[in-house]
Structure 1
Amino acid sequence: MNDSKKLSLVSSLLIGLATVCVVASMFFPWWKMVFYAPQYPEGLNIIVYPNKLDGQIDIINGLNHYIGMANFSEENFPELSYLIYIIGALAVLTLITAVLRSKKVLYGLISIYIIGGLAGVLDLHAALKNYGTNLSSKAPIKIDPFVPPIIGENTVANFVTHSILGTGIYFVIAAFILLLIPLWKDRKK
């Protein structure tokens, strides 16, 4: 391989560290929604991992029934059944990129990260829109349809919700940044 197209050993190590970040992300929440109300000052959580939901989902589902919102459940998020495998494959591709030390392969990998990130954001937005706008007309409490934000605050009735990124996503962001550094570091002088 032409040396001008080969990444340095330091860049290869940075990409290897990105692999570690991607693997670590699999063990932490990727997104979280916290619901606060006078009767729940400590907050109720929906915590989304790459392969499961956690938090006080039963309580939240019981409350959401009053506004006609569908139940949150792993069955309603088929992505949770395969996302962990996609992340594992991404980790393997990242490791292969570190070993090959090819700039072309690195460009391809960065493209996969960007496309995957955009697909994830669009998928989460679609799910939030579906939950907030497809409210049952038979609900005891009538409210206007709404779309909870992916990041930020929203108020519905007497609940204030905060949507925040989880630790796992910060690991993925760190991995992405680690992939960008070699492009700058190994640029042509």
Structure 2
Amino acid sequence: MIKTLSIPSVIALCLAAILLITSIFFPWWGMRFYAPQYPEGLDIIVYPYKMAGDIDIVNGLNHYIGMKGFGEENFPELQFLPYIIGILALLTLITAFLRRKSLLYGLIGLFVVGGAFGIYDIHHWLRNYGTDLDPTAPIDVDPFVPPVIGENTLANFVTESYFTYGSFLLGAAFLCTLFPLWRDRKR
């Protein structure tokens, strides 16, 4: 006998698909740089399809420690990430309409793997940028790896890394996919 999902579970999955698509239009992650000369902070804001904020100023400052410049062209993920999220939303809707619990398990697995890979990818780029410094740079600093979430201090700069609105929408979408496991646990 095929285990089917209840109507409330189907609604939760449809909501998850809507949240996934909506997340594309909001920033997912960011960094804010504070220093005495920048008390208001400088921002790098990462959307799933572009980067925004004070990138030119941050790149100008990072040049002094020999760090490569940030730019959308350096992050190929930004070219295809919205499509991956769109496909995940489509798979979520397919799971909702077919109402099969077995498909739900696969969908949750995709969410977990995708989330883990996303965090790994951010860490990879932070490590790459913080450890591949030009040895001929005007200011000599030891290689460093800023945290994915949290605070880091380098010279007179304090950097805060954080997830933001788009990531919260992704988290809410994930919770919506878990809801059927609870709701239909005895079905």
Q: For this structure pair, what is the TM-score category when the shorter chain's length is used for normalisation?
A: over 0.9
Gaps of 5+ in 1: none
Find 1:76's aligned residue among 74, 77, 82: 74
Kindly state the Cα deviation for residue 184 of structure 1 after the two structures are TM-superposed. Answer: 1.0
* 1:70-90 Cα deviation digits (max 9, x unpaired): 000011101011111101111
* TM-score (normalizing by structure 1): 0.97
Q: Which residue of 2 aligns with 1:140?
A: 138
Q: Which amino acid aligns with 2:126?
A: L
| Other-structure match for 1:20 | 18
Q: How many residues align?
A: 187
Instruction: State the AA in 1 paired with 2:30.
Output: K
Query: 4+ residue stretches of structure 1 with deviation over 2 A?
Result: none
* Secondary structure of 1:154 counterpart: strand
For residues 79-98 of structure 1, what are the structure 2 equivalents within 5 Å?
79-98=77-96
1:182 partner letter: P
Residue 98 of structure 1 deviates from its aligned partner by 1.0
Query: 1:46 aligns to what?
Result: 44
The whole-number CA distance in structure 2 between the counterparts of 1:100 and 1:9 is 11
Q: Report percent identity of matched pairs.
A: 61
Which residues of structure 2 form unaligned runs of 5+? Answer: none
User: SS in structure 2 opposite 1:162?
Assistant: strand
Aligned equivalents of 1:188, 1:88: Cα separation in 2: 31
Which one-letter code corresponds to 1:45 in the other structure? D
Q: Which amino acid counterpart does residue 113 of structure 1 have in structure 2? A: F
Amino acid of the structure 2 residue aligned with 1:77: F
Partner of 2:154: 156
**Matched AA of 2:41:** G
1:180 to 173, 178, 181: 178
Aligned CA RMSD, in angstroms, stands at 0.9
| Higher mean C-alpha deviation, range 48-57 or range 94-103 | 94-103
Aligned mate of 2:168, from 142, 149, 170: 170
**Which secondary structure does the structure 2 equivalent of 1:82 belong to?**
helix
1:1-16 correspondence to structure 2 within 5 Å: 2=2, 5-16=3-14
In 2, distance between residues paired with 1:122 and 1:164? 15
Which residue is equivalent to 1:110?
108
Partners of 2:80 and 2:155 lie apart in 1 by 35
Letter in 2 for 1:168: G
Residue deviations 1:6-42, cap 9 Å, x none? 0000100011001111011000000000000000011
Question: Structure 1 residue 163: deviation in Å?
Answer: 0.3
